[in-house]
Amino acid sequence: METAQNMTQPPLAKHDSRLLDLAFAMDTTGSMGSYINSARDNIRRIVEDIVAKESSDVRLALVEYRDHPPQDRSYVTQKHDFTPRVGEMKKWLDQSRADGGGDAPEAVADALYDVLNLSWRKEATKICVLISDAPPHGLQPSGDGFPNGCPAGHDPMNIARQLAENSVTLYVAGCEPALIHYKDFFSALAYVTGGQYVPLSAAGSLTAVIVGGAQEELSLEQWMDQVNQQVVQEVQQQGEANVDVEELSRQVMGRLNMAGHRSKHLRVNNAEAAPTSDHVKKMSSLSSMEAVRAEWKPTPSSYGGEVGDARFRSAPMMPMMMEDDCDDDEIALSSPAPPEAVCSLFGSRSGSAGDRAMKKSRSCAAAPPPPPMGAMPMRGGCAPPPPPMGAMPMRRGCAPPPPAPVDSYATEEGEIQMAQAERMVQKALMRNNINLQQK
């Protein structure tokens, strides 16, 4: 590893802000159909918006991923290298289908490996948007068909470091609520590269996230030569052991703002991105999934209850509340978990997020097999299966579920923020192969 004593000049390639290489790594398992459709329907608008607003020469690439056999026998990844033709990218998306998946984790590591090996232009701004609703193998062994990690030997943390060293910035569009428990992990994965995690609550928002993220990165890359010089100089003068990354980030922010530089900001729900948490920074400093697994803990859900496996999204709506006067041999549930009788119709995965969401009370485990859907008898005070959404009656003690939160996105111009300065410093450190210990 290069040290402060023998580092002579930044190894960054000359950057051309007019060039953008934009790659998509997309989960194409059964739960992702709406996101594939959104990307396909809006890819021309995405490129036109970036070209019109940033005057960029854009190339596009796509990596589709599913899982390893026996979890999925169709394919692990399908790689489509960079093309300048929007029509070619649209054709790839037209041919893409959401199907399969197997266990809850997917081949995230294999997708990132393919992204690393795309034909990136050295002088371009390089961005990968990872669109995912499931974690990689090896993070949470329970319910994982490959608990020790990717069977091909790819490690997402190690690959993220290689992406960072090659100036590729990773944005994670996390499909929530399915991915919420893994938010800190994906935030750390993105932070390694100087990128960020962006919550995605609806497929229709994908275009705004992609365009906004690209605009923000294009604006920040304009100042990376200056930031790189400042970071290298600080490390040379102070020594790696004495550099305070937070203070260095504050100095970078101050210098850029004093010079009058302004950047684009992708704002979520009209708020600036918060500075990265210490827990995420600590995980980002780790170089293997084994080390991350020992440090990782599920991100608490902000959706008012446990979050189900993404593959349960298309299941019929279940009763949200059973009244308290159910007979003892009835299934009694608390919102928002589906009853075990219905779970048996759709199957479950041991240890998956979906299993954890299926919380029972009283004698649910002893419930008899259900009659056909739509023919469930009403006994005691227990509610029958609900009618289609929009026709749900309001019964005593039975309230419809609250609407899922939908995030809003906007891209605005303003001063450099602390979260952006932290990410720029992280980029400079990784591109110069400087590994500072988190304090």
Q: In which band, very low, low, confident or very high, does the pLDDT at 160 lie, cut at 50, 70 and 90?
A: very high
Q: In which band, very low, low, confident or very high, does the pLDDT at 163 lie, cut at 50, 70 and 90?
A: very high
Chain-wide mean pLDDT for the chain?
Answer: 80
Residue 300: the pLDDT is: 83
Determine what percent of the chain is predicted with pLDDT higher than 70.
72
Query: Are residues 241 and 185 both part of a single domain?
Result: yes
Total number of domains in the chain: 2
Query: Are residues 75 and 201 both part of a single domain?
Result: yes
Query: Are residues 410 and 357 both part of a single domain?
Result: no
Span of 218-227, 256-265, 298-307, 368-377 with lowest mean pLDDT: 368-377
Q: Is residue 14 part of a domain?
A: no
Residue appearing with tokens 């891209």: 411
What is the pLDDT averaged over residues 161-169? 98
Span of 17-26, 203-212, 338-347, 374-383 with lowest mean pLDDT: 338-347
Query: Are residues 294 and 349 both part of a single domain?
Result: no
Residue 397: the pLDDT is: 53
Query: Are residues 194 and 293 both part of a single domain?
Result: yes
Winning range, highest mean pLDDT, from 9-13, 48-52, 318-322, 405-409? 48-52
Query: Are residues 155 and 171 both part of a single domain?
Result: yes
Query: Are residues 250 and 382 both part of a single domain?
Result: no
Q: Is the pLDDT of residue 262 over 70?
A: yes
* pLDDT tens, residue by residue, 185-218: 999 999 999 999 999 989 999 999 999 999 999 9
Q: Is residue 1 part of a domain?
A: no
Closest alpha carbon to 418 in 243, 263, 200:
263
Query: Are residues 258 and 387 both part of a single domain?
Result: no
Residue 269: the pLDDT is: 87
Q: Is the pLDDT of residue 8 over 50?
A: no
Containing domain of residue 291, as a range?
Answer: 19-299+406-431
Tokens of 338: 């589906």
Q: Is the pLDDT of residue 322 over 50?
A: no
Span of 48-62, 66-80, 108-122 with lowest mean pLDDT: 48-62
Q: In which band, very low, low, confident or very high, does the pLDDT at 312 lie, cut at 50, 70 and 90?
A: very low
Q: Is residue 342 part of a domain?
A: yes
Query: Are residues 128 and 220 both part of a single domain?
Result: yes
Work out the burial of residue 388: count CB atoms within 10 Å of its CB; fewer than 13 is exposed, 13-18 middle, 19 or more buried: exposed
Query: Are residues 206 and 321 both part of a single domain?
Result: no
Greater pLDDT, 353 or 83: 83
Rounded CA gap, 197 and 28, in Å? 19
Q: Is residue 305 part of a domain?
A: no
Rounded CA gap, 162 and 431, in Å? 9
Q: Is residue 339 part of a domain?
A: yes
Walk across the sheet containing 168-175 and list its strands.
77-83, 57-65, 19-27, 125-132, 168-175, 197-200
What is the pLDDT averaged over residues 115-143? 95
Span of 8-12, 18-22, 245-249, 413-417 with lowest mean pLDDT: 8-12
Query: Are residues 123 and 202 both part of a single domain?
Result: yes
Determine what percent of the chain is predicted with pLDDT higher than 90.
60
* pLDDT tens, residue by residue, 270-281: 888 888 999 999
What is the pLDDT averaged over residues 136-145? 90
